[in-house]
């Protein structure tokens, strides 16, 4: 599968998790579990992009490098929001407000990435290379999920 297709699938999975935590009714235990899952999924996705996808895209020219730099900044903002959510009471208004803020940041990032960065990559990188990169992405994802200490460095 092409790298961009795998990353789009990750985006959709993260959207579903955010919708699930925002729906009425999850109790504190389920909310805490969802918060941890969202944090882990966002970090794994960010590391995959930062280690494998962005370096390839960055080499496509100054316009691509600029988009990558902006995406990295967005990753930083999302990490900060996840850090803040981790310290908040799960049942408070502040938690819900910050969660909505996280969703908005993720949606903004995903829209820009899919409509600018991915389109650029698909226009300038051959299908074979995108598929090879897809294999590397799948391998790194498995390593991050199963490696010692989950392999996550700079976790969210």
**125 falls within a domain:** yes
**11 falls within a domain:** yes
**49 falls within a domain:** yes
Domain of 64, in residue numbers: 3-151
**105 falls within a domain:** yes
The pLDDT, as a whole number, for residue 152 is 47
**123 falls within a domain:** yes
Instruction: Read off the pLDDT of each residue in 129-143 and give the average, rounded to a whole number.
Output: 97
For the segment 16-63, what is each residue's pLDDT rounded down to a tens digit? 999 999 987 778 899 999 999 999 999 999 999 999 999 999 999 999
The pLDDT, as a whole number, for residue 26 is 73
Instruction: Read off the pLDDT of each residue in 101-124 and give the average, rounded to a whole number.
Output: 97
**156 falls within a domain:** no
Residue 117: which pLDDT band, with cuts at 50, 70 and 90? Answer: very high
Residue 87: CATH number of its domain: 1.20.120.520
Record the tokens describing residue 122, joined without a space: 């698909």
Number of domains in the chain: 1
The pLDDT, as a whole number, for residue 156 is 42
Residue 154: pLDDT over 80: no
91 vs 99, 100, 102, CA distance in Å? 11, 14, 16
The pLDDT, as a whole number, for residue 155 is 47
For the chain, what is the mean pLDDT? Answer: 93
The pLDDT, as a whole number, for residue 153 is 45
The pLDDT, as a whole number, for residue 91 is 82
**18 falls within a domain:** yes
The pLDDT, as a whole number, for residue 149 is 53
pTM for the model: 0.90
């Amino acid at each position: 599968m092409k790298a961009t297709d795998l990353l789009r699938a990750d985006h959709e999975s993260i959207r579903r998790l955010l919708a699930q935590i925002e729906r009425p009714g999850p109790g504190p235990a389920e909310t805490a579990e969802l918060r941890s899952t969202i944090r882990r999924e966002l970090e794994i996705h960010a590391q995959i992009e930062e280690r494998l996808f962005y370096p390839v895209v960055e080499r496509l020219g100054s316009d691509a490098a600029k988009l990558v730099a902006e995406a990295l900044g967005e990753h930083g903002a999302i990490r900060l929001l996840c850090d803040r959510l981790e310290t908040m009471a799960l049942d408070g208004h502040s938690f819900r407000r910050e969660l909505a803020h996280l969703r908005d940041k993720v949606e903004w990032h995903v829209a820009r990435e899919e409509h600018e960065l991915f389109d650029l990559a698909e226009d300038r990188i051959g299908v074979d290379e995108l598929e090879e990169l897809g294999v590397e992405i799948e391998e790194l994802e498995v390593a991050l999920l199963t490696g010692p200490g989950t392999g996550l460095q700079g976790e969210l």
